[in-house]
C-alpha cells in the first residue's frame, strides 16, 4: 500500500534544537508557512490567532532575552510567537461573511453561532482555554507545514509570557502560548525519540 507523503512527514518529524544560523527565510516563505498554519481549525471559525515572526537578529535577540536565553531562538531563521486571542463573538459576521456570500451559510446561522460563542466564552477561564487551543492547533499545523517545505522546527514553552507580552506590545486579549523556531537543520539534532506503546495511551471502547 502506498504511503501518503503527509504520513511520512509525521513519522520523521523531530523537534530541532540545532539550526543553521546562516539560513534566511524571506517574507514570501514566511507568509507561505502562516497561510498553511491558518488552515488549522478554530471554534466557530473565529480564527482567533496571531503569529509574530521574529526574523531580524535584533528582534530575535529581544525574544531570546525573555525565552530563557535559548540559542535556537536566535539561530533559527525565524522564531514565531504564536498567540491565541480571547474569543470575540462580534468578529463572526465579518469572518463568516465571505462564506455567507457563497450561499453555503445563512445569515441566521451566523447569528446563531455568534450567540453561541457569546454564551460559551462568557467565563474568562473558558475563553482563555479556547485561546490556548486555537494557538496550539495553529502551531501544530505550522510545525508540519515547515516539515513539508523541507525545514525543521523546534517548539518552545520555555519563555516568560509576561516578558513576551511586554517586549512585543501584546494586548490584554492576546495570549502568547508557544514559540516555534523554524529554519534549516544544523548537524547534531537527535532522531525522533521513542513513543509510548499504544496500549498505554489508547482505549478503544
pLDDT tens by residue, 18-38? 999 999 999 999 999 999 999
Overall average pLDDT of the 32-56 stretch:
98
Instruction: Output the pTM of the full model.
Output: 0.96
At 2 the pLDDT is 72
Assess contact for 185 and 19: CB atoms under 8 A. yes
Task: Check: CB of residue 143 under 8 Å from CB of residue 13.
Answer: yes
Residue 166's contacts (CB-CB under 8 Å, 6 or more residues apart) are 66
Amino acid at each position: 500500500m502506498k504511503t501518503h507523503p503527509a504520513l511520512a512527514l509525521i513519522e520523521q518529524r523531530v523537534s530541532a534544537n540545532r539550526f543553521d544560523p546562516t539560513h534566511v527565510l524571506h517574507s514570501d516563505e514566511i507568509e507561505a508557512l502562516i497561510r498553511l498554519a491558518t488552515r488549522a481549525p478554530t471554534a466557530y471559525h473565529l480564527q482567533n490567532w496571531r503569529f509574530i515572526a521574529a526574523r531580524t537578529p535584533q528582534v530575535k535577540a529581544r525574544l531570546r532575552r525573555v525565552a530563557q536565553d535559548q540559542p535556537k531562538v536566535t539561530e533559527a531563521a525565524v522564531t514565531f510567537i504564536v498567540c491565541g486571542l480571547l474569543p470575540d463573538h462580534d468578529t463572526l459576521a465579518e469572518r463568516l461573511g465571505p462564506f455567507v456570500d457563497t450561499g453555503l451559510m445563512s445569515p441566521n446561522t451566523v447569528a446563531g453561532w455568534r450567540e453561541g460563542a457569546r454564551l460559551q466564552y462568557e467565563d474568562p477561564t473558558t475563553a482563555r482555554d479556547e485561546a490556548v487551543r486555537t494557538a496550539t492547533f495553529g502551531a501544530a499545523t505550522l510545525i508540519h507545514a515547515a516539515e513539508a517545505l523541507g525545514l525543521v522546527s523546534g517548539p518552545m514553552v520555555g519563555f516568560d509570557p509576561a516578558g513576551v507580552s511586554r517586549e512585543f506590545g501584546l494586548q490584554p486579549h492576546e495570549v502568547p502560548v508557544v514559540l516555534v523556531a523554524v529554519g534549516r537543520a544544523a548537524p547534531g539534532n537527535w532522531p525522533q525519540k521513542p513513543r509510548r506503546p499504544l496500549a498505554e495511551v489508547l482505549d478503544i471502547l
